[in-house]
Structure 1
Amino acid sequence: MKFKSKKHQHLVESAKDLFWKFGFKRVTVEEICETASVSKMTFYRFYPNKMEVAKAVFDMVIDKGIDDFRELMQSDMSAPEKMRKMLQMKFEGTNDISKEFMMDFYNNPELEVSTYIQKRTGEVWMSIIEDFRQGQRDGWMRNDFKPEFILFASQKIMELATDEKVLGLYANPQELVMEIANFFTYGISTHE
Protein backbone atom coordinates (compact mmCIF):
# COMPACT_ATOMS: atom_id res chain seq x y z
CA MET A 1 0.00 0.00 0.00
CA LYS A 2 1.31 3.39 -0.96
CA PHE A 3 0.69 6.21 1.46
CA LYS A 4 0.09 9.74 0.21
CA SER A 5 1.88 11.30 3.18
CA LYS A 6 3.17 10.60 6.69
CA LYS A 7 -0.22 11.74 8.05
CA HIS A 8 -1.96 9.22 5.83
CA GLN A 9 0.35 6.43 7.01
CA HIS A 10 -0.08 7.41 10.65
CA LEU A 11 -3.86 7.50 10.20
CA VAL A 12 -3.98 3.94 8.81
CA GLU A 13 -1.53 2.61 11.40
CA SER A 14 -3.53 4.24 14.21
CA ALA A 15 -6.76 2.75 12.87
CA LYS A 16 -5.09 -0.67 12.75
CA ASP A 17 -3.97 -0.40 16.39
CA LEU A 18 -7.47 0.60 17.50
CA PHE A 19 -9.25 -2.05 15.39
CA TRP A 20 -6.89 -4.77 16.63
CA LYS A 21 -7.53 -3.76 20.23
CA PHE A 22 -11.26 -2.95 20.20
CA GLY A 23 -12.72 -4.42 17.00
CA PHE A 24 -14.43 -2.45 14.26
CA LYS A 25 -17.80 -1.54 15.75
CA ARG A 26 -16.50 0.10 18.93
CA VAL A 27 -13.95 2.38 17.27
CA THR A 28 -15.10 5.78 16.06
CA VAL A 29 -13.66 8.11 13.43
CA GLU A 30 -13.06 10.60 16.25
CA GLU A 31 -10.95 8.05 18.16
CA ILE A 32 -8.93 7.25 15.05
CA CYS A 33 -8.30 10.97 14.47
CA GLU A 34 -7.35 11.55 18.10
CA THR A 35 -4.94 8.60 18.15
CA ALA A 36 -3.38 9.65 14.82
CA SER A 37 -3.26 13.33 15.87
CA VAL A 38 -5.10 14.41 12.72
CA SER A 39 -8.25 16.41 12.21
CA LYS A 40 -11.51 14.90 10.99
CA MET A 41 -11.07 17.01 7.86
CA THR A 42 -7.76 15.22 7.22
CA PHE A 43 -9.43 11.85 7.81
CA TYR A 44 -12.19 12.62 5.30
CA ARG A 45 -9.65 13.85 2.77
CA PHE A 46 -8.30 10.28 2.66
CA TYR A 47 -11.41 8.18 3.44
CA PRO A 48 -15.15 8.78 3.09
CA ASN A 49 -15.93 6.63 6.16
CA LYS A 50 -14.63 4.19 8.75
CA MET A 51 -15.37 1.21 6.49
CA GLU A 52 -12.93 2.43 3.85
CA VAL A 53 -10.13 3.00 6.36
CA ALA A 54 -10.77 -0.55 7.68
CA LYS A 55 -10.29 -1.87 4.15
CA ALA A 56 -7.07 0.15 3.85
CA VAL A 57 -5.85 -1.34 7.13
CA PHE A 58 -6.55 -4.84 5.88
CA ASP A 59 -4.83 -4.09 2.56
CA MET A 60 -1.77 -2.74 4.39
CA VAL A 61 -1.51 -5.84 6.56
CA ILE A 62 -2.13 -8.23 3.65
CA ASP A 63 0.35 -6.49 1.34
CA LYS A 64 3.09 -6.59 3.97
CA GLY A 65 2.31 -10.24 4.73
CA ILE A 66 2.49 -11.20 1.06
CA ASP A 67 5.79 -9.36 0.59
CA ASP A 68 7.29 -11.04 3.67
CA PHE A 69 5.95 -14.46 2.64
CA ARG A 70 7.35 -14.16 -0.91
CA GLU A 71 10.74 -13.12 0.44
CA LEU A 72 10.71 -16.14 2.74
CA MET A 73 9.64 -18.52 -0.02
CA GLN A 74 12.47 -17.31 -2.26
CA SER A 75 15.12 -17.52 0.45
CA ASP A 76 17.75 -20.25 0.66
CA MET A 77 16.65 -21.33 4.15
CA SER A 78 16.08 -25.00 4.86
CA ALA A 79 12.48 -26.26 4.88
CA PRO A 80 12.32 -26.54 8.71
CA GLU A 81 13.72 -23.02 9.04
CA LYS A 82 11.15 -21.69 6.56
CA MET A 83 8.36 -23.34 8.57
CA ARG A 84 9.67 -21.79 11.81
CA LYS A 85 9.90 -18.41 10.10
CA MET A 86 6.32 -18.73 8.77
CA LEU A 87 5.09 -19.36 12.32
CA GLN A 88 7.09 -16.42 13.61
CA MET A 89 5.54 -14.20 10.93
CA LYS A 90 2.07 -15.45 11.94
CA PHE A 91 2.84 -14.72 15.59
CA GLU A 92 4.02 -11.20 14.83
CA GLY A 93 1.08 -10.57 12.50
CA THR A 94 -1.46 -11.51 15.13
CA ASN A 95 0.11 -9.58 17.99
CA ASP A 96 -2.46 -7.61 20.01
CA ILE A 97 -5.52 -8.96 18.18
CA SER A 98 -8.53 -8.84 20.47
CA LYS A 99 -11.53 -11.12 20.65
CA GLU A 100 -13.62 -8.15 19.48
CA PHE A 101 -11.46 -7.84 16.38
CA MET A 102 -11.88 -11.53 15.56
CA MET A 103 -15.64 -11.38 15.95
CA ASP A 104 -16.12 -8.09 14.08
CA PHE A 105 -13.81 -8.77 11.17
CA TYR A 106 -14.34 -12.48 10.59
CA ASN A 107 -17.72 -13.39 11.98
CA ASN A 108 -19.96 -10.48 11.14
CA PRO A 109 -21.50 -10.89 7.68
CA GLU A 110 -23.59 -7.73 8.02
CA LEU A 111 -20.41 -5.65 8.05
CA GLU A 112 -19.13 -4.79 4.59
CA VAL A 113 -15.58 -5.20 5.90
CA SER A 114 -16.23 -8.90 6.53
CA THR A 115 -17.17 -9.42 2.88
CA TYR A 116 -14.15 -7.42 1.76
CA ILE A 117 -11.83 -9.53 3.93
CA GLN A 118 -13.26 -12.74 2.48
CA LYS A 119 -12.78 -11.45 -1.07
CA ARG A 120 -9.19 -10.27 -0.49
CA THR A 121 -8.31 -13.42 1.42
CA GLY A 122 -9.49 -15.54 -1.51
CA GLU A 123 -7.29 -13.54 -3.89
CA VAL A 124 -4.31 -13.89 -1.58
CA TRP A 125 -4.82 -17.62 -1.18
CA MET A 126 -4.76 -18.15 -4.93
CA SER A 127 -1.36 -16.45 -4.98
CA ILE A 128 -0.11 -18.44 -1.98
CA ILE A 129 -1.23 -21.70 -3.60
CA GLU A 130 1.05 -20.89 -6.53
CA ASP A 131 3.90 -20.20 -4.10
CA PHE A 132 3.28 -23.60 -2.49
CA ARG A 133 3.39 -25.24 -5.91
CA GLN A 134 6.76 -23.58 -6.41
CA GLY A 135 7.83 -24.99 -3.04
CA GLN A 136 6.82 -28.43 -4.31
CA ARG A 137 8.83 -27.92 -7.51
CA ASP A 138 11.81 -26.74 -5.44
CA GLY A 139 11.55 -29.89 -3.32
CA TRP A 140 11.01 -28.45 0.14
CA MET A 141 7.27 -29.18 0.23
CA ARG A 142 5.69 -32.59 -0.25
CA ASN A 143 4.58 -33.32 -3.79
CA ASP A 144 1.73 -35.54 -2.61
CA PHE A 145 -0.47 -32.79 -1.16
CA LYS A 146 -2.83 -30.48 -3.00
CA PRO A 147 -2.13 -26.83 -2.13
CA GLU A 148 -5.83 -26.03 -2.74
CA PHE A 149 -6.62 -28.12 0.34
CA ILE A 150 -4.99 -25.40 2.44
CA LEU A 151 -7.48 -22.85 1.11
CA PHE A 152 -10.48 -24.97 2.10
CA ALA A 153 -8.94 -25.93 5.43
CA SER A 154 -8.19 -22.29 6.26
CA GLN A 155 -11.83 -21.36 5.70
CA LYS A 156 -12.96 -24.05 8.13
CA ILE A 157 -10.25 -23.06 10.58
CA MET A 158 -11.55 -19.47 10.59
CA GLU A 159 -14.93 -20.85 11.65
CA LEU A 160 -13.14 -22.43 14.62
CA ALA A 161 -11.17 -19.27 15.37
CA THR A 162 -14.35 -17.22 15.74
CA ASP A 163 -16.31 -19.77 17.75
CA GLU A 164 -16.97 -18.38 21.25
CA LYS A 165 -16.39 -21.78 22.91
CA VAL A 166 -13.07 -22.31 21.14
CA LEU A 167 -11.94 -18.73 21.83
CA GLY A 168 -12.83 -19.30 25.49
CA LEU A 169 -10.19 -22.04 25.74
CA TYR A 170 -7.38 -19.54 25.21
CA ALA A 171 -6.15 -16.48 27.09
CA ASN A 172 -6.30 -14.36 23.93
CA PRO A 173 -6.96 -14.71 20.20
CA GLN A 174 -3.26 -14.71 19.32
CA GLU A 175 -2.79 -17.83 21.44
CA LEU A 176 -5.59 -19.55 19.49
CA VAL A 177 -4.23 -18.41 16.12
CA MET A 178 -0.80 -19.77 17.04
CA GLU A 179 -2.33 -23.04 18.21
CA ILE A 180 -4.01 -23.39 14.83
CA ALA A 181 -0.83 -22.44 12.94
CA ASN A 182 1.31 -24.88 14.96
CA PHE A 183 -1.25 -27.66 14.57
CA PHE A 184 -1.50 -27.03 10.85
CA THR A 185 2.29 -26.96 10.48
CA TYR A 186 3.37 -29.76 12.83
CA GLY A 187 0.25 -31.70 13.78
CA ILE A 188 0.52 -32.80 17.40
CA SER A 189 4.19 -33.77 17.19
CA THR A 190 6.79 -31.99 19.27
CA HIS A 191 8.98 -29.41 17.55
CA GLU A 192 11.45 -26.67 18.33
Structure 2
Amino acid sequence: MDGFERRRELKKMEILKAALSLFMKYGVQKVSVAEIAKEASVSQVTIYNYFENKHKLVTEVITYYVDKEWARAEELLESDLPFPEKIKQVIFQNAKVANDIHEDFYEYVMKEYAGENNYFETFYVEKAMPRLSAFFQSGKDEGYIDSTISNEAILVYIQMYSDYLSNEEVYKRTLHLSEDLTKLFFYGIVGKGAN
Protein backbone atom coordinates (compact mmCIF):
# COMPACT_ATOMS: atom_id res chain seq x y z
CA MET A 1 0.00 0.00 0.00
CA ASP A 2 1.51 3.30 -1.06
CA GLY A 3 1.41 6.54 0.94
CA PHE A 4 -1.75 7.83 -0.76
CA GLU A 5 -3.67 4.61 -0.14
CA ARG A 6 -2.46 4.49 3.47
CA ARG A 7 -3.63 8.09 4.10
CA ARG A 8 -6.94 7.32 2.42
CA GLU A 9 -7.44 4.25 4.60
CA LEU A 10 -6.50 6.19 7.75
CA LYS A 11 -9.01 8.91 6.88
CA LYS A 12 -11.70 6.30 6.29
CA MET A 13 -10.94 4.73 9.69
CA GLU A 14 -11.17 8.14 11.37
CA ILE A 15 -14.61 8.63 9.82
CA LEU A 16 -15.73 5.17 10.97
CA LYS A 17 -14.43 5.80 14.51
CA ALA A 18 -16.13 9.20 14.69
CA ALA A 19 -19.41 7.85 13.36
CA LEU A 20 -19.32 4.88 15.74
CA SER A 21 -18.64 7.14 18.72
CA LEU A 22 -21.58 9.39 17.82
CA PHE A 23 -23.93 6.50 17.01
CA MET A 24 -23.10 4.82 20.34
CA LYS A 25 -23.97 8.02 22.22
CA TYR A 26 -26.90 9.42 20.23
CA GLY A 27 -28.12 6.72 17.87
CA VAL A 28 -28.16 6.85 14.08
CA GLN A 29 -31.29 8.94 13.57
CA LYS A 30 -30.11 11.95 15.59
CA VAL A 31 -26.60 12.14 14.12
CA SER A 32 -26.12 14.07 10.89
CA VAL A 33 -23.37 13.64 8.33
CA ALA A 34 -22.28 17.19 9.25
CA GLU A 35 -21.77 16.13 12.87
CA ILE A 36 -19.77 13.09 11.81
CA ALA A 37 -17.64 15.25 9.52
CA LYS A 38 -16.95 17.67 12.37
CA GLU A 39 -16.05 14.83 14.77
CA ALA A 40 -13.73 13.25 12.17
CA SER A 41 -12.22 16.61 11.13
CA VAL A 42 -13.16 16.10 7.49
CA SER A 43 -15.66 17.70 5.13
CA GLN A 44 -19.10 16.27 4.41
CA VAL A 45 -17.99 15.87 0.80
CA THR A 46 -15.16 13.62 1.97
CA ILE A 47 -17.66 11.39 3.77
CA TYR A 48 -19.82 11.16 0.66
CA ASN A 49 -16.73 10.40 -1.44
CA TYR A 50 -15.91 7.45 0.81
CA PHE A 51 -19.40 6.14 1.56
CA GLU A 52 -21.82 7.65 -1.03
CA ASN A 53 -24.64 8.11 1.51
CA LYS A 54 -25.45 7.82 5.19
CA HIS A 55 -27.00 4.38 4.80
CA LYS A 56 -23.77 2.94 3.37
CA LEU A 57 -21.80 4.68 6.11
CA VAL A 58 -24.04 3.10 8.77
CA THR A 59 -23.56 -0.34 7.19
CA GLU A 60 -19.77 0.05 7.20
CA VAL A 61 -19.82 1.37 10.78
CA ILE A 62 -21.72 -1.75 11.83
CA THR A 63 -19.11 -3.95 10.12
CA TYR A 64 -16.34 -1.96 11.79
CA TYR A 65 -18.09 -2.27 15.16
CA VAL A 66 -18.57 -6.04 14.82
CA ASP A 67 -14.93 -6.53 13.83
CA LYS A 68 -13.77 -4.38 16.73
CA GLU A 69 -15.88 -6.28 19.27
CA TRP A 70 -14.83 -9.62 17.79
CA ALA A 71 -11.14 -8.68 18.09
CA ARG A 72 -11.76 -7.95 21.78
CA ALA A 73 -13.57 -11.29 22.20
CA GLU A 74 -10.82 -13.22 20.41
CA GLU A 75 -8.20 -11.61 22.62
CA LEU A 76 -10.17 -12.82 25.64
CA LEU A 77 -10.68 -16.32 24.22
CA GLU A 78 -6.95 -16.61 23.42
CA SER A 79 -5.88 -15.34 26.84
CA ASP A 80 -4.41 -17.51 29.59
CA LEU A 81 -7.41 -16.91 31.84
CA PRO A 82 -9.12 -20.03 33.18
CA PHE A 83 -12.27 -21.08 31.29
CA PRO A 84 -14.72 -19.91 34.02
CA GLU A 85 -13.05 -16.49 34.11
CA LYS A 86 -13.39 -16.18 30.35
CA ILE A 87 -17.13 -16.83 30.69
CA LYS A 88 -17.38 -14.14 33.41
CA GLN A 89 -15.52 -11.70 31.18
CA VAL A 90 -17.83 -12.44 28.23
CA ILE A 91 -20.85 -11.74 30.45
CA PHE A 92 -19.23 -8.55 31.77
CA GLN A 93 -18.39 -7.35 28.25
CA ASN A 94 -21.93 -8.03 27.01
CA ALA A 95 -23.36 -6.09 29.94
CA LYS A 96 -20.93 -3.22 29.29
CA VAL A 97 -21.80 -3.10 25.59
CA ALA A 98 -25.51 -3.11 26.45
CA ASN A 99 -24.96 -0.15 28.78
CA ASP A 100 -22.79 1.76 26.30
CA ILE A 101 -24.80 1.34 23.10
CA HIS A 102 -27.64 3.68 22.18
CA GLU A 103 -30.88 1.77 21.65
CA ASP A 104 -31.35 3.27 18.17
CA PHE A 105 -27.89 2.11 17.04
CA TYR A 106 -28.51 -1.31 18.62
CA GLU A 107 -31.67 -1.64 16.51
CA TYR A 108 -29.72 -0.76 13.35
CA VAL A 109 -27.15 -3.43 14.22
CA MET A 110 -29.85 -6.00 14.85
CA LYS A 111 -31.70 -5.13 11.62
CA GLU A 112 -28.45 -5.68 9.75
CA TYR A 113 -27.96 -8.94 11.68
CA ALA A 114 -31.47 -10.13 10.77
CA GLY A 115 -31.04 -9.31 7.07
CA GLU A 116 -30.17 -11.94 4.52
CA ASN A 117 -26.79 -12.28 2.78
CA ASN A 118 -25.16 -9.80 5.09
CA TYR A 119 -21.79 -9.45 6.73
CA PHE A 120 -23.04 -11.20 9.86
CA GLU A 121 -23.83 -14.40 7.98
CA THR A 122 -20.30 -14.65 6.58
CA PHE A 123 -18.78 -13.59 9.89
CA TYR A 124 -20.79 -16.19 11.78
CA VAL A 125 -19.84 -19.08 9.49
CA GLU A 126 -16.21 -18.19 8.84
CA LYS A 127 -15.06 -16.66 12.12
CA ALA A 128 -17.44 -17.01 15.04
CA MET A 129 -18.59 -20.63 14.77
CA PRO A 130 -15.14 -22.22 14.35
CA ARG A 131 -13.72 -20.16 17.19
CA LEU A 132 -16.69 -20.78 19.49
CA SER A 133 -16.59 -24.50 18.71
CA ALA A 134 -12.93 -24.59 19.75
CA PHE A 135 -13.75 -22.58 22.88
CA PHE A 136 -16.53 -24.96 23.92
CA GLN A 137 -14.31 -27.94 23.19
CA SER A 138 -11.65 -26.49 25.50
CA GLY A 139 -14.38 -26.14 28.14
CA LYS A 140 -15.20 -29.83 27.70
CA ASP A 141 -11.52 -30.83 27.80
CA GLU A 142 -11.05 -28.89 31.04
CA GLY A 143 -14.19 -30.39 32.61
CA TYR A 144 -16.27 -27.20 32.70
CA ILE A 145 -18.75 -28.27 30.03
CA ASP A 146 -20.55 -31.58 30.19
CA SER A 147 -18.60 -33.85 27.84
CA THR A 148 -21.72 -35.90 27.10
CA ILE A 149 -23.24 -32.93 25.23
CA SER A 150 -22.31 -33.22 21.58
CA ASN A 151 -20.72 -30.34 19.73
CA GLU A 152 -23.59 -30.64 17.26
CA ALA A 153 -26.11 -30.01 20.05
CA ILE A 154 -24.13 -27.00 21.24
CA LEU A 155 -24.07 -25.59 17.69
CA VAL A 156 -27.83 -26.17 17.29
CA TYR A 157 -28.39 -24.39 20.62
CA ILE A 158 -26.29 -21.43 19.47
CA GLN A 159 -28.16 -21.33 16.15
CA MET A 160 -31.56 -21.40 17.90
CA TYR A 161 -30.46 -18.60 20.21
CA SER A 162 -29.14 -16.61 17.28
CA ASP A 163 -32.24 -17.17 15.13
CA TYR A 164 -34.57 -16.13 17.94
CA LEU A 165 -32.62 -12.95 18.68
CA SER A 166 -32.74 -11.96 15.02
CA ASN A 167 -36.52 -11.55 15.26
CA GLU A 168 -37.37 -7.83 15.33
CA GLU A 169 -40.05 -8.21 18.00
CA VAL A 170 -37.48 -9.96 20.20
CA TYR A 171 -34.42 -7.76 19.73
CA LYS A 172 -36.42 -4.57 20.25
CA ARG A 173 -37.10 -5.62 23.82
CA THR A 174 -33.91 -7.46 24.80
CA LEU A 175 -31.15 -4.85 24.99
CA HIS A 176 -31.64 -4.31 28.72
CA LEU A 177 -31.64 -8.10 29.21
CA SER A 178 -28.24 -8.67 27.60
CA GLU A 179 -26.45 -9.64 30.79
CA ASP A 180 -29.22 -12.00 31.91
CA LEU A 181 -29.47 -13.60 28.46
CA THR A 182 -25.71 -14.14 28.34
CA LYS A 183 -25.79 -15.77 31.79
CA LEU A 184 -28.65 -18.01 30.67
CA PHE A 185 -26.76 -18.90 27.52
CA PHE A 186 -23.69 -20.04 29.45
CA TYR A 187 -25.12 -21.28 32.74
CA GLY A 188 -28.72 -22.28 31.97
CA ILE A 189 -31.57 -21.56 34.35
CA VAL A 190 -29.97 -23.48 37.22
CA GLY A 191 -27.01 -21.09 37.27
CA LYS A 192 -23.32 -21.53 37.82
CA GLY A 193 -23.51 -22.11 41.56
CA ALA A 194 -25.71 -25.23 41.49
CA ASN A 195 -23.95 -28.59 41.43
**TM-score normalized by the length of structure 2:** 0.73
1:40 aligns with 2:40: no
1:22 equivalent among 23, 26, 44? 26
1:82 to 2:86 alignment: yes
Rounded to whole Å, the distance in 2 between the matches of 1:63 and 1:32 is 20
Flag the 1:3–1:96 CA change in 2: closer, same or farther, 3 A.
Answer: farther
Within 5 Å, which residues of 2 pair with 1:111-150?
113=112, 119-126=118-125, 127-138=127-138, 139-140=141-142, 141-143=145-147, 144=149, 145-150=153-158
SS in 1 for 2:100: coil
> What SS does structure 1 have at the residue aligned with 2:42?
coil
Structure 1 distance, partners of 2:52, 2:115, is 16
Count of residues in correspondence between the two structures = 178
Conserved 8 A contact 1:105-1:117 = no
Q: Distance in 1 between the 2:114 and 2:166 partners?
A: 14
1:1-192 to structure 2, matched below 5 A, reads 4=8, 6-107=10-111, 113=112, 119-126=118-125, 127-138=127-138, 139-140=141-142, 141-143=145-147, 144=149, 145-159=153-167, 161-163=170-172, 166=173, 173=175, 175-189=176-190
Larger C-alpha radius of gyration, 1 or 2? 2
Q: Please report how far the alpha carbon of residue 150 of structure 1 lies from its aligned counterpart in structure 2 after TM superposition.
A: 0.5
Q: Secondary structure at the match of 2:34?
A: helix
Report sequence identity in percent. 22
Residue 71 and residue 44 in structure 1: after superposition, are their counterparts in 2 closer, same or farther (change >3 A)?
same
Unaligned runs of 5+ in 2: 1-5
| Residues 3 and 93 (structure 1), Cα distance of their counterparts in 2 relative to 1, 3 Å cut | farther
Go from structure 1 to structure 2 and tell me whether the alpha carbon gap of 1:191 and 1:177 turns closer, same or farther (over 3 Å shift).
same
8 A contact 1:3–1:9 mirrored in 2: no
Partner AA of 2:81 in structure 1: M
CA distance in 1, matches of 2:56, 2:33: 11
The farther-off stretch of 153-162 and 80-89 is: 153-162
Aligned twin of 1:110: none
C-alpha change, 1:117 and 1:27, in structure 2 (3 Å) is farther
TM normalised by structure 1 equals 0.74
CA distance in 1 between partners of 2:19 and 2:95 (Å): 20
CA contact (8 A) 2:51 2:57 kept: yes
How far is 1:123 from its partner? 2.1
